[in-house]
Amino acid sequence: MGNDKWIAGPNLSWLDFYFGELLDLLNSITDGLFYAEFPATYAYWERFISLPNLSSAWADDTKCMKRPFNNKMAMILNY
């Protein structure tokens, strides 16, 4: 990213959504240690999850399914 706001430069792209999902997974499977080790990723996550339409969807569990990360044949975190 360098000094850019988003993964592919100054504009939000599909890569940011993929990366945001990956950050959520890494944070969950490391019990928050990932962000302690890589604090810049937490700043990115906060910026990403604060996007106007995304923040309201993320706050409403009926609009955004946060778990499971994978199907039942490849369980992660016992989901």
Q: Provide φ and ψ at 9, rounded to 5°.
A: 135, -150
> Whole-structure pTM over 0.85, yes or no?
no
Asked, for residue 5, whether it belongs to a domain, the answer is no
Asked, for residue 3, whether it belongs to a domain, the answer is no
Asked, for residue 58, whether it belongs to a domain, the answer is yes
Place of tokens 């106007």: 52
How far from each other are the two terminal CA atoms of the chain, in whole angstroms? Answer: 32
Asked, for residue 7, whether it belongs to a domain, the answer is no
Asked, for residue 29, whether it belongs to a domain, the answer is yes
Asked, for residue 64, whether it belongs to a domain, the answer is yes
Asked, for residue 26, whether it belongs to a domain, the answer is yes
> Per-residue pLDDT tens for 22-66?
898 888 888 889 999 999 899 999 999 999 888 887 777 776 666
- How far apart CA 69 and CA 73 sit, in angstroms, is 11
> Per-residue pLDDT tens for 30-42?
888 999 999 989 9
Range of the domain at 57: 14-74
Question: How many domains does the chain divide into?
Answer: 1
